[in-house]
Chains A and B, each alone.
Chain A
Amino acid sequence: MIEFNEVSKVYDNGIVALNNISLRIEKGEFVFLIGPSGAGKSTFLKMIFREEKPTSGQVFIDSRDITPLRRHEVPYLRRNIGVVFQDFKLLNDRTVGENVGFTLQVMGVNPALINNQVTKVLDQLGLSTKKRMYPTQLSGGEKQRVCIARAIVNNPAILITDEPTGNLDPYISWEIMKLMIDINSKGTSVVFATHNKELVDRMRKRVLVLKDGRLVKDEQRGNFDYDSV
Chain B
Amino acid sequence: MYSLRYILYETWLSMKKSATMLFSAVIIITTALSLLGFFIVSQNFLKVVLKDIENNLQIVVFLEDGFNERTLKEVIIPSVKEYPQVSKVDYIDKEQAREELKKDISELNEIFSVIEDNPLPSSLRVSVSAPEALETVAERLKKENGIIIDEITYGGENVRNFLKASEKFKQFSVIFLTLFIITSVIVTSSTIKLTIYSRKSDIEIMKLVGATDWYVKWPYIIEGVVLGLFSSFLAIMLVLFLKNSAALEVAKSIQFLSGFNSEISMLEIAWKLLVVGILQGIIGALWSASSILSEKE
Contact = CB atoms under 8 A, between A and B. Distances in A.
Partners in one complex: yes
Interface of A: 49, 51, 71-72, 75-79, 83, 89-91, 93-94, 102-103, 105-111, 150
A33 B88 CA distance: 97
A113 to B, nearest CB: 9
Interface stretch (B90-98, B127-135, B200-208): B200-208
The 6 A-B residue pairs whose C-beta atoms are closest, nearest first, are A79-B210, A106-B211, A78-B210, A108-B3, A103-B209, A75-B210
A77 B211 CA distance: 11
Contacts of B212: 72, 75, 106
Given A108-B3, A109-B2, A75 B297 contact: no
Contacts of B213: 71-72, 75
- B contact patch SS: helix
Task: Place the interface of chain B in its size category.
Answer: 20 to 34
B210 A89 contact: no
A135 to B, nearest CB: 11
A75 B2 contact: no
Contacts, number: 55
A93 B208 contact: no
A144 to B, nearest CB: 15
A108 B210 CA distance: 11
Given A71-B297, A91-B202, A106-B215, A83 B2 contact: no
Contact of B208 (A49, A71, A76, A108): A49
A51 B204 CA distance: 11
Given A71-B297, A93-B17, A106 B204 contact: no
A111 B2 CA distance: 8
Interface in B1-37: 2-3, 5-6, 13, 17
Contact of A93 (B13, B211, B296): B13
A220 to B, nearest CB: 30
A93 B15 CA distance: 12
A42 to B, nearest CB: 13
Given A102-B205, A106-B211, 6 more contacts: A75-B213, A77-B210, A79-B209, A93-B13, A102-B206, A108-B6
Contacts of B3: 108
Contact of A103 (B5, B13, B202, B210): B210
9 contacts: A78-B207, A78-B208, A78-B209, A102-B209, A103-B209, A108-B3, A109-B2, A111-B5, A150-B209
B123 to A, nearest CB: 79
Nearest to A112: B2
Contacts of B204: 89
Contacts of A109: 2
B2 A76 contact: no
B211 A89 contact: no
Contact of A108 (B2, B205, B296, B297): B2
Contacts of A150: 209
Nearest to A83: B208
Nearest to B16: A93
Contacts of A103: 209-210
A24 B202 CA distance: 33
Given A71-B213, A75-B210, A78-B210, A89 B201 contact: yes
A89 B205 CA distance: 7
A78 B211 CA distance: 9
